Structure formats: structure tokens, C-alpha cells
Structure 1
Amino acid sequence: MAAAPLPSPPTRTRIEELLSVSYLTPVNVRAVDRVEPWFVLRCHLDARSPDVPPSVVVKWLRDTPGDVRTNPVQLRTEQAALEFLAALDPTLVPGLLAADTASADPRVGFLVCEDLAPREPLRAVLLRDGPRRCAALLTSFARALARLHTRTLGRADAYYDRRSRLGPVDRQADVEAFLGSWHTGVRHMDDAGVPMSGAATDELAGIVAELADPGAFLAFSNGDPGVNNYLVDSAGDGRLIDFEAAGFRHALTDLVNDLYLPGSMWLTVGDPMANGVEEAYRDTLAPVVPEVVDDRRFGRTVTGAGFVFAAGRLATLPKMDTRPYGNHSRLHRVATLEAAADTAGRHRSLPHLAGWARTAAAALRRRWPDTDVDLSALDPYTTRE
């Protein structure tokens, strides 16, 4: 069977037509710039109406073969998410100015959003200035996540009513999206001679059950939280972006990637208990979710979410074996396991899972000699590139 045609970027004419209809005045796209690393364009506009901004950002589906972001459903999800959040707190996200997601050919859909420049990704600022100089921006990111959660608690019905108008959606699948393929990673380690003990299995089962039924912690997530998806200026005024995988799930799962454990772009991150990130998040959320002040409950859940994340990263273990010597994707798998165990140690939680993670990391270091790196000697937010 032939592969489905890939999405393609919208033409200048289609962008002009959509904006002209949206603003009820002729709009001309004077110039177009590609904005890396995203699949977006910055369009510079000319129009007689003062309501038309000087520039906008246009986003479409990725056109890279094999990329996971080629599903038209993702654009509809982002459209619903931005519309939903604009009504709750427009300072959290870019404004959605126009959308074309109802075409008979879903591959040609696109969104037109507010241009957030001169804000830049927090990841870029961390790489340029270092984590010490970016401490206030990291806590700004943590507070933004907490604000997203406080604004959306108890509003799942409102979001899914809006989302369902654009097409079918599975609410429970959204809740469980973070759980991903942890079981595959655990099985790979079992095959590698690192089985999970009964006590560790029980700890993991308890965490999985809690994340699948968040209770008071059910809140909205963009589905891909991380410092590359937080655009911020020097004063800490930031916006969360990339809502293609958005949905309601356990709020504390949003803290794992890039704050407690290294996401796909990092080998190390900071210590949220020492750099103010954890305190900023919990203090912001506490007035609405008082359960977050319970140290034992918070520590257990965020630690457990870290183990689910780390195990999920092991789902591609066979592929890692084929990578060339020195490829940091292997060291990254070791780093996530060790960071999860470190989080457990700091929170004095889930000791059996911590033991499994350290044993698994040691086994992978023996399996991959190029991972013989002392991660504790690296600075926080050391990139894997």
C-alpha cells in the first residue's frame, strides 16, 4: 500500500485569503521567514486596518517522512486548546488569529497565531546563559505550568465539548497518554537480565493506577511540556506553545520532562528542590489544589511519574543498540534512569523502583561502553547534542 501523501506548507495565497476573511480587510503577505526548529513560518503583513498585526506565525503539520506529527487531528487539537485557553487566561498562550482545519483535504490545514517575538525558547536561553543566570526563568516556567493547571482544573467538560466539535476525541486516552510504553521498556530490561522485583512491580502498579485516575490533580496539559516549548523574554514573561497533543491528565506529569528528568534534548537537568522550581510550582498550585502541599504525596507522585517516563524511554532499546559509538541517545537513556533514582532519593520515596533503575542503568553502562560518563560531573542542563 502506498504511503499517504505528506502535509505541505500553506501557500502565500492561502494565508492571505484566510487572513483577509478573518480581518474583513485585504491582507498582503509581504515576506515569509522559516522559524526553526519548528514547522512554522513568520509572515510579515501589510494591510490598511490597524487591527492587522505586522507579523504572524503560521503552523502546519510536519512534512518529514516517519515523523509522528503528521496527523491532521493534531492541528484540530491545538486549535481547540488555544481557543479554550484564550477564554481562561490569554497570557498563558499565543493568541489564535485564524484556523483552516476543516478542509476536505486535511493535509493542507494550518493555524495562524500571534507572533511571540522577541520571546525565545527557554532552552536557547539556558544554552546561551547557563542555568544559574536562568534560575528566575526556570521558576517562571514552573509557575506557568501551575497557572495552566489552576486555570483548567474542573473544566474538562468545557474543553472536550469544544474539542468534539472538531472531530472525535478519546478523553481517557488523553489521561493515559503520559503512560505511553513503559511496559515495553520494563520488558526490554527483563530480557536484558534486569527483572523488576515484586516490590518494585507493586510500586509501579500503584503509580500507574494513580496517574490513570488523577482525581484532584486532573488538569490541562499541552502534551509536550519542556523548556523548548516555553517562549520567554528577559523579564520572565513567557508563553506555553505546541498544543498538538493537548488534553487533560495528571498535572504532576508535566513536571517530569526537563525539570526532574532530562528530556530528549538534555543529558542533565537541575535539582528542582534546590533551584526553586518545585517550590514555585507547589506554591502557585496550592490555593486551588491543597493536596500539593503534602510532601509525601507530592514526592511519591512526581517520583513515580519519573520512573514511568524513564521506563518509557527504554521502549526503543533495540534501536539504541544500532546507533554508532558515541551517540548520546544511549547515554540519555542511562541519564533518565539515574535521574529518576536521584529524584526518589531526594523525596525518600519508592525505594524498590529506585533500586531497579540503578541496576538497569548499571547494566546499560556495561552493555554500552560509550556511556562510561560521570553524569554527576556535568553541569546542569548539559545538552546531548
Structure 2
Amino acid sequence: MEKQKKQYKKVVLAYSGGLDTSIIIPWLKENYGCEVVAAAGDVGQGTELDGLEAKALATGASKLYVMDLVDEFVEDYIIPTVQAGAKYEGTYLLGTSFARPPIAKKLVEIAKKEGADAICHGCTGKGNDQVRFELAIKAFAPDLGIIAPWREWDIKSREEEIDYAEAHHVPLKINRETNYSKDKNLWHLSHEGLDLEDPANEPDYAKPGFLELGVAPEQAPDTPAYITIHFEKGKPTALDGKAMKTSTLLKELNAVGGANGIGIIDIVENRLVGMKSRGVYETPGGTILYFAHEQLEMLCLDKETAHYKALVAQKFADIVYNGQWYTPLREALSAFVDKTQENVTGDVKLKLYKGNIIPAGTTSPYSLYSEDLATFGEDSVYDQADSAGFIHLFGLPITVQAKLKEKLAAEKE
């Protein structure tokens, strides 16, 4: 006997106006007979929010909330992740991953305000986002219902979604030929699907409408651009001597980085659900921020802290990717990272040229680099004769092992 579907009176839908969530509004009304309250999180996707309210209402929603999350997204999620140096599988800068927790947190607030008994998302059953949304919802409303249409309906592909939209007169901004799956926010833009599903295919970066945040490196200017970023305790606070809030600084870096072909990656990543997926990501400003922060840490962190922090960075990246932002472990790791950032203050000058970021000078009042110690010239600080005793003790286990091998070899003769 088929299990009876639980009914809900009012559902808050995580709404972007994209293909998935556009058709979910009529689907919810058809299948649950519920009121649908749409909620869109503004995490810096820009013009994608234009006309969203009219579209949501025309499609059947009772109202639309547009949640202004830009500064919260940058300050409370992006910057802590940059400070941690977290890169999933060493490459992916987590642009979609850390945008989901603040949106989900706000969805719960709206659901409580509206008296809704469920939250709905448009994440597929094959992807990571379903986990990110639902773990965040559980962190703030563990008993709230969750509806995931992709795990219920008979639609099997994006082509069938378009068929459904056309049959229900849902307006779309895409067509079947440009039907890439994209996710955009202030930090990045991802591209998946179509020809990208075969890793043997080289992405056509020159294709009109493909790259949106910048240009391919070969199309970038022949003259390099120089920028200087100032950090205070690991947080970027000024660009080229001009203080600005972090979200504004990131927008400026996106512009200059995109113009110089910075931050385009083509990767095959291991999804949480067990499969590999291929995607192209544009992260111009974020790529610059990571690079600049790493340059400054080279000066300001001691060897043991820097090496241990690299281990933390890998775990931190896994936590963010897996949707575990609101967990004790993430909070504990962030506390460690915060401690490491106390002296990460200074200026990083960079040269941007045709997709490359080239160090052009780093300074810090907390620099641990000593020219007196490191110089190849004459100095009065370091007695090179001291190194003999150090090497003797450091190599003592090797010496003991070698003598044992000699002894055992002699006994066999």
C-alpha cells in the first residue's frame, strides 16, 4: 500500500525564480493544496532578482520575501572560510556550499513568522544542496516538515521540467539550448550540465553568455593590473588604500579579477552523495582574496601553526561542503582559526595578468621574516657553526639505524 502523503497547510519555498523553483509553486499547489510563500535569499546574485515578485505571484505564490543576506553572507560565512584557508579538494572555493546555510536559517525565521508547517527546496536528489539546506533547517527547527519535490515527482530531467513549465504557462529565462545549471552569488558563478557533463569536452569560454563574471585569460588585457589589499586580523578592510566594507571590496575584486581572466576553474569533484560531477566555476574576487590572505600568512604565522592550520583547512572545507556549518566542530575550528588570525595584519600587493596572480610585495608589522637571519650576506646574528650540533642531534636516529644495519650485516658475514 502506498504511504499516504503528509499534508501541509502553508509551505515556505526557497525560491530563486530558476527552472526548478519556478515549477515547484504550481506543483505544490496541485499536490499538496497548500498556500505557498516564496522566499528568495539575496546573496549578491544581482539582476536575477529582477521581476521576481511578479513572477512568483503570477505562478501562484501568495507572497514573496526577498531576504537581504549579502553582508551577513560575506562577514559570517565567506570571511571565516577564507581565514581558514578552506578549499574543497584543494581547488573548489565553496561558493555554493556556504551560501546555503544563511538562506536556510532565514527560511526557518520566515516559516515561524508565517506559521508555516513545512519548508520546500528545489534541490535534486543527486546533489549536495539538499543536505546543506536540510541540515541547516534541522539546526533551527528540527520538527519542521521538509518537502523535496525532486524526491517525489515523476519529472526525471531538466527537459521534462521545461515541458512542465510550458504546460503550466510558467515563464522561463532559459531555453533548451542554453540550459546550463547555474548558481550565482556575490562570490561565484557555477556552470554544470550540457556539454560539461563529459570531462573530455573543453569548455567554450568564448561562447556568448557562458562566462558572466569575467573573460577568458587569452581575452584579458596585455597590460597587468596592480592592486593592494589591506588585512586586519585576517579580514580584508581596504583596497588600494581605500577603506570599504567587505562586500564592496569583494565587488571591486570581482570587477578587476574578472577583467583580467582570474578565477576560472574546471574541476571534477566528489559530491557528498557519492558520485563525481564536473563543473566550471568563476570566482574572480574570491580567488584573489584567498591568494592574498595566503601571502600574508606566509609572513605572520610560525611554522608549526601554519602546518597544523593546513590540516584544519582541509577538514573545515569538508565541513562546509557537507552542509555542517551549524555544528559544534565547525564552531570549534573557527575558534582555532580566529586565534591564528590575531597577527595576520598587513598589505599585500598583487599583479594580475591574463589569469595569473603574481605576488608583488607583502608587508606586515607582525612579520616573522628576519632579513638579518635569512641574508646570504654577512651577519652578526646567526653563528653558522651552531648548525653542526643541531644536525648531529637531529640526525641521531638515522645514525643509530645506520650503525645497526652495519652490525647486522657484519654478523651475517
Shorter-chain TM-score range:
under 0.3
The structure carrying a bigger helix percent of its residues is: 1
Structure having the higher strand fraction is: 2
TM-score normalised by the chain length of structure 1: 0.26
Query: Which of the two has higher C-alpha Rg?
Result: 2
